[in-house]
Amino acid sequence: MTGVLTQLAANPYPLYAQLRKLPNPGPNLVSHAEVREALNHPDLVVDKLNDLRRVLPAELADGALARTLRSILAFQEGDGHRRLRRVLAKRLVGKQIDGQRDTIERFTAELLDEVGGEGDVVRELAYPLPARVISNLLGIEWSHVDKLLAWSDTLVRIMSAGTIEPATAVVWEQQMADMRDLVSQLCSDRRREPRDDLISSLLEMGDETLSFDELAANVLFMVTAGHETSTDLLASGILTLLRHPSQLAALRADPSLIDGAVEEVFRYESPLQNVGRVPRVDVTIGGRVLREGRLVNLLIGAANRDPAVFEDPDTFDITRDPNPHLGFGFGAHFCLGAGLARLEARVALPMVLARFPRLELAEHDVPWRSAPGFRGPARVPVRWT
């Protein structure tokens, strides 16, 4: 089983192609049209919170873990989701994100100053850069970042979990309690001395003030969302360009192609491969009836290779236009961090190519990391030349 999962992580696209040919691919939506419609359907909901509530030990039903889970934006629906999203969106779009460009350039330059000889793109750039950017945006001191990333990894495991063993729940409970203690400390500091950062801003929302549960949970969620996707995008972007020399040469010759290159990486190697939805009533999509209460997998990675929408979908083409990929989702749960992830890649990738004109892969068989729903290179060995 482990070997099969490893193969799927390395290259899930042949399986997607096989599913696309089936008249009934089980609990999976595969086509671009079906996935897009499902992402935007009001009766297909995120039911992960209820799943996790059912398996939490009774003594933890109102503990730090449960309070965190029920307050995370991605687990909300309806009015609660709209309110939380409105509050967070005011701080994660437009000028607030555009103003991070200089910071991203500085952090990228600092990280690239440290590389040399043979190295790993993930360890030396793709993992630390988003961590620095999101912690700086939130206003979290660098000394706390390792702890936050560890808690972020826990949140990814929680979001991927089908069940929770009692001993694991106890560990996660303590981690979420520690996380809430840190956020409480940061909030106290910002109330005394507000700064130009996201935590200070979220404490000054007037009538839209978040509860402490909501603030703590979504600080962690923003760290998770702002790190996971961006790390996979940067690593996949460099790997994919190095595997397609003609596209790399085109981008080097015309750096203005970077926006299209970033969008094509999101389509071609989607960091978000799959999301789950549960119909709260019977729902018909693509002529199929999705039964109430039965989990449906929305295969974003398959939708982004749909030949009905993308000409030569298995070809990596940085000039592809239009490119209506679903790499950030669609509809009510469209990724709030899309602007920041795009900006990080648009800044960092050209800096890497300019600094290392002969950058090359040191190994061609690259291992892929795959948690349910997410996918990216575990490491990208390169020669920094």
List active site positions: 225, 228, 230, 335, 344
Other C-beta atoms within 10 Å of 283: how many?
A: 20
Residue 381 near residue 239, CB atoms below 8 Å:
no
Contacts of 15 (CB under 8 A, 6+ apart): 8
- The pair phi, psi for residue 277, each rounded to 5°, is -140, 150
Q: What tokens appear for 52 in the block?
A: 């996790």
The angle subtended at Cα 260 by Cα 259 and Cα 261, nearest 5°, is 90
- The pair phi, psi for residue 278, each rounded to 5°, is -125, 125
CA distance 16 to 243: 22
| DSSP assigned state of 211 | P
| Beta-ladder partners of 298 | 29, 275
Q: What tokens appear for 348 in the block?
A: 């960092």
